[in-house]
Structure 1
Amino acid sequence: MSRLGCVILWISLSLGQALGQAPVSFVRDIAPVLVKQCQGCHGPKKVKGGYRVDTFEHLLKPGKSDAPAIARGKPAESELFLRLTTGDADDLMPQDGDPLPPKQIELVKRWIVEGAKFDGTTETAALAGLLQPVEHPPAPESYPSPVPITALEFGPEGERLFASGYREVTIWNTISGELLGRLGNVAERVYDLAVSAEGRLLAVACGQPGRLGEVRLFDLASGELRSVPVTTADVVFAVAFSNDGNRLAAGSADNKLRLVEVESGKVTHELGSHSDWVNSVAWNADDSRLVTASRDNTAKVFDASTGERIVSYLGHQNYVRAALFHKNGKEIFSIGDDQKMHHWKIEGPKKVNDSSASRSTALAIARIGTELLIAGDDRSVRAFNINIKDESRKWDGHKDAVLSVAVSAATRQAASGAYDGEVVLWNIDEGKIIRRFHATPGGVAGKENPPLPRQGEGRGEG
C-alpha cells in the first residue's frame, strides 16, 4: 500500500472512531457471514482450495495458494478479502451463490483493517458454536408430501410418540393416532430424539448438512426452547440422555462425541476419537460408559467420567450405524452396512457371534429387556431375544425402508418409522401391528418420496 493510501486509511479509521463507530465484532458481524456463505465449500467436509473457515484457527491459515488468508491491517494483501472483491468470476467467492452485499464486504474490510481481532471464547471452536442460537423458519402448516421418519421416541408414559418432521418435531397419540402437537424452531432436518427419564425435557439432534448442527433442548410442559447446548459446523446425528437425566451425549458429522451437563448446558468433554461421522451414542445402565457407532467402520466404548476411550471394535469392516449395551453392561450389540448384528464383549474386545439383521442395511436398533429390535432398509423390523442365539422374528408391514425404531417399557409397544412417512405401532410380545398412520401434518398420505439414497450416500449429504 502506498504512503498516501496509508494516510487515507488512518484518517478513515480516526474519523470512524471519532464519530463513535463501534469496532467490528468477529462473532457478531463476521462469523455469521462465514457460516452462512462460505462454510459449505470451506468446512470440515468440503475443503475447496485447501482452505477452511469453520473455526477462527482455520480461517487464518492459508489454502493451497499459500497466500496469507488474513493479513492483519492489510485487506489488499488478504486472500479472503481479495476473493470477495475480485472481478474474476472463477476466483470470486462465494462461487455457489450471489456475491456478498457491499455492506458485508465493507464489514470484512473494516475488520481486517482494525487488526482482525477475535472476540470469541477459543480460536479452535466451531464458528457455528460462537453464534447466538438462531430462530429457525417455521414448519409448513401442512406437508405437500410425507417426510422420512428418521427419528422416533416415546414419552415415559407410552401414550405420546415424538416423530421427526420438517423443521419440527410432531407429537402423536399412540392410542388414537391423532396429532397432539408440533414443536417448531428446530433446524431443517431432525436426525435423533431423546426424552429425559422423568419426561421433563426433549433433546433434538438436528441440522443442515454442511452448514449447521445443533442439539436443542425443549421443556415439554411449556413447549419452550430451553437451551442450545451443542452447535457444530455440520449436522448432529445422535443424542442420548444419561439415565439419571443429568448429562447428555451427542454424536455428529464433525466426527466428535460431546458430553454436556444438562443443567448448565456446558460441554464437559469433546472427544475426537472417531475419524468419520458419529452415527449413534448410548449409555450403559449406571451411566459410567458410552458406546458409539461410526462411519469409520468402528464402534467405541468410552469412560463417561474421563472421556477416555476404553476399546475400539473393528469387526464390522463397514459403516456402523448403531450400537447399544447388553443389559449386563459388559457386552455390546452393533449393526451396520454389513447386514449383521454383532454381539461382542467389551473386554478384548471379543466377538461372541453375529446374526443376520437385515437383507440389506440395518439402520437402527432399540432394546427393551431381553428384546432387541432392528430396523432395516429391507422394509422390516427384526426382533431378537438376546438369550437365544441366531433366532429372530421378522415383522413385516412397512412398504418402504425402515429408518427408525423406538420402544416403550410402560406399554411394551414399539414404533417404527419409514422413509415414506408411515409410522407403525407394534405389540412387542406378539409382533403384531396395533396401529399405523402417516406422521404427516395436514399432508396427503401415500404420496411417494424421491428414491432412498443408497449405500455411500450418507444421512447428512445433499
Structure 2
Amino acid sequence: MNHYLSAAFVLLSLAAQSALAAEPTVSFRQDIAPILLENCQACHGAKKAEGGYRVDSYAELLKAGDSGEIPIAEDPNDPSELLRRIACEDEFERMPPESDPLPADKIALVQQWIAAGGKFDGDNPEQTLGLVIPPPTYAAPPEKYTHAVPLTAITFSPDGKQVIVGGYHELTVWNAEDATLARRIPNLGQRIFALSFSPDGETLAVGCGEAGQSGEVRLVNFASGEVKGVIARTNDVVLDVAFRPGTPEIAVAAADSSLRIINTQTLAEVRAIASHADWVNAVAWSDDGSLLVSGSRDKSAKVYQAETGELLASYVGHGAAVRGVSVLPDNKHIVSVGADNKLHRWQVADAKKVAEVPLGSEGQKVLRVANDLFVPCAGQRLVRINLADNKITQEYKGHGDWVLAIAQQPGEVTDPSGRLLASGSFDGELRLWKVSDATPVRNWIAKP
C-alpha cells in the first residue's frame, strides 16, 4: 500500500480546504457519521476491523490502524489517510473496496470537515455512530391500511384496559372491552418486533427497524405518545427487549447477532455480550434480575450472570433456531422453544435437558406466568403448559395463520384465571381469550 500523497493530491487537498473554508460548517453527527456508517463500518467495526482500523465511533476513527498512518491529521495541512483512501483513483487502495467510489459530494464533505479541524460535535466521542447520528423523524403512517400488518409484538397497557400492537411505523392502541381503536402512536421504525413496559409502567420500550437495513429501540411516554428518545441502534432489526426487574436497565436483542444491556436513564451501555453467531431472537430476565437468558437463530440458548455478563451455560439441544426463552422461578431451569417444534426444559448448572414437550409446530415466543407457560405456535394455536409436570393443559384454537405474539392482562400473578390473554397472528388478527378456559372473547383485524 502507498503511504504518501502525490504532489497533485496535496495541491488538490489544499485548494479544496481554501475553497471550502467559506462553506457552512460540516457536522460530524449530521454529515460525516452517516457516510461512515453506510460505507465503512461493515469492514471497519468492532467485530470486523480490516487492517486493524475502526470507524464505529469518533474516538476509534482517530486511532491509526496497522499501517500506522494517521487517519485524521490534527493539522489540516498534513495528510489524512482516511481522506486519501476514499479519494484516490487506484481501485486497489480506494475505499470502500470492491465498490463504486464515494460520490464526489460525500468526498467533498469529508474534505471540508477535515479542513475545518475534524471536530466532534456530539456529547460523547466514545458513542457508536448509530447513537451519535440524530434519530430520524419518520413520516406519518397511512390513514388507512390497504393490508394488515403481521402482529409480531403485542402487550397490554399497565391498567389492562387496552391492547397495544405494532403497526407500520406506529403502534395502534385498542380498547379491550369493545375492540375499538383508541389512538395511534407514530414516529417509530418500519416494523415493530418487541414491546416492554418499564417497571413503573410509564415508559414503553419499542424494538423496531427495517429488515437488513437498521434497527433501534425507541422509548415512548405511554401517556402522551411522545417518543422520548432512542437508546440503541443497530444495522438490522431489534427483535426483542426486556426490562430488568426493578431497574432502569433493558436488554436488547437484535438481528445483527448483538445482545446489549443499556441503562435507560443514563443512556449508557452497561454491557455488550457477543456470544451468539446469528440473530438473537429472544431475551428474558429471571424474576429477581440476577440471570439473563437469550435465544438465537444459531440454534443455541445461553444464560449469563446479569451483573458481570459471564456465560454460565450454553444449550445446543434444539438443533434449530431458538425463538423464545424464559428463566423459571427457581433460577435453576430454563425453558426454550423454537423451530424444532418442541419446548425444551434444561438446567443452568450443566445445560442438560430434563424434559421435552412436543408442540406440533414451531414455537414463536414464550410467556411465563407463575408456573404456567403460554406458547404461541405456527400451527394456528396457542398452548398452555403446566410447568409442574411439563404437560400441555389447554389449547387456544381459532387463528387462521401463524400465531406470533402473546400477552396477558396485568393482574395478580397467583390467580391468572380471571384475566384475558391476547394473541396476534401473521395475518394481522388480534384475539382475546379467557385464560381460565381458553374461551374466545372477541377477535378483529388490528389495522386502522
TM-score, normalised to structure 1, is: 0.81
Displacement after TM superposition at 1:202 (Å): 0.6
Displacement after TM superposition at 1:8 (Å): 5.4
1:337 aligns to what? 339
Question: 2:315 and 2:350 mapped to 1: Cα distance?
Answer: 9
Pick 1 or 2: higher relative contact order, CA cutoff 8 A, min separation 6: 1
SS at match of 1:363: coil
1:408 aligns to what? 409
Displacement after TM superposition at 1:112 (Å): 5.9
Matched, 1:393 2:394: yes
1:366 aligns to what? 367
Of the three residues 400, 422, 439, the one matched with 1:432 is 439
2:414 aligns to what? none
SS at match of 1:382: strand
2:147 aligns to what? 145
Displacement after TM superposition at 1:203 (Å): 0.6
Displacement after TM superposition at 1:321 (Å): 0.7
Question: 2:196 and 2:83 mapped to 1: Cα distance?
Answer: 49
Displacement after TM superposition at 1:440 (Å): 0.4
Task: Verify the 8 A CA contact 1:297 1:314 in the aligned structure 2.
Answer: yes
Q: In structure 1, what residue type is equivalent to 2:237?
A: V
Deviations 1:121-166 (A, max 9, x none): 7888542222112212221111011010000111222211110111
Question: 2:148 and 2:419 mapped to 1: Cα distance?
Answer: 27
2:86 aligns to what? 80
Q: How many residues align?
A: 427
Structure 1's 3 and 342: CA in aligned 2 closer, same or farther, altered over 3 A?
Answer: closer
Of the three residues 340, 344, 359, the one matched with 1:357 is 359
Displacement after TM superposition at 1:327 (Å): 2.5
1:308 aligns to what? 310
Structure 1's 436 and 318: CA in aligned 2 closer, same or farther, altered over 3 A?
Answer: same
Of the three residues 207, 214, 217, the one matched with 2:216 is 214
Of the three residues 6, 11, 17, the one matched with 1:13 is 17
Task: Verify the 8 A CA contact 1:147 1:420 in the aligned structure 2.
Answer: yes
Structure 1's 85 and 106: CA in aligned 2 closer, same or farther, altered over 3 A?
Answer: farther
Question: 2:139 and 2:296 mapped to 1: Cα distance?
Answer: 30
Q: In structure 2, what residue type is equivalent to 1:422?
A: E
Task: Verify the 8 A CA contact 2:17 2:111 in the aligned structure 1.
Answer: no
Task: Verify the 8 A CA contact 1:245 1:262 in the aligned structure 2.
Answer: no
Identity %: 33
SS at match of 2:365: strand
Task: Verify the 8 A CA contact 1:71 1:78 in the aligned structure 2.
Answer: no
Of the three residues 301, 318, 321, the one matched with 1:319 is 321
Measured on the aligned residues, the alpha-carbon RMSD in Å equals 3.6
Question: 1:175 and 1:164 mapped to 2: Cα distance?
Answer: 19
- Structure 1: 5+ residue stretches without partners: 442-462
Displacement after TM superposition at 1:119 (Å): 6.4
Question: 2:6 and 2:280 mapped to 1: Cα distance?
Answer: 52
TM-score, normalised to structure 2, is: 0.83
2:182 aligns to what? 180
Structure 1's 71 and 59: CA in aligned 2 closer, same or farther, altered over 3 A?
Answer: closer
Displacement after TM superposition at 1:409 (Å): 3.7
- Structure 2: 5+ residue stretches without partners: 74-78, 412-417
Structure 1's 193 and 255: CA in aligned 2 closer, same or farther, altered over 3 A?
Answer: same
Task: Verify the 8 A CA contact 1:164 1:190 in the aligned structure 2.
Answer: yes
Of the three residues 293, 296, 310, the one matched with 2:295 is 293
Structure 2 counterparts to residues 207-246 of structure 1, below 5 A: 207-246=209-248
Q: In structure 1, what residue type is equivalent to 2:397?
A: D
Matched, 1:280 2:282: yes
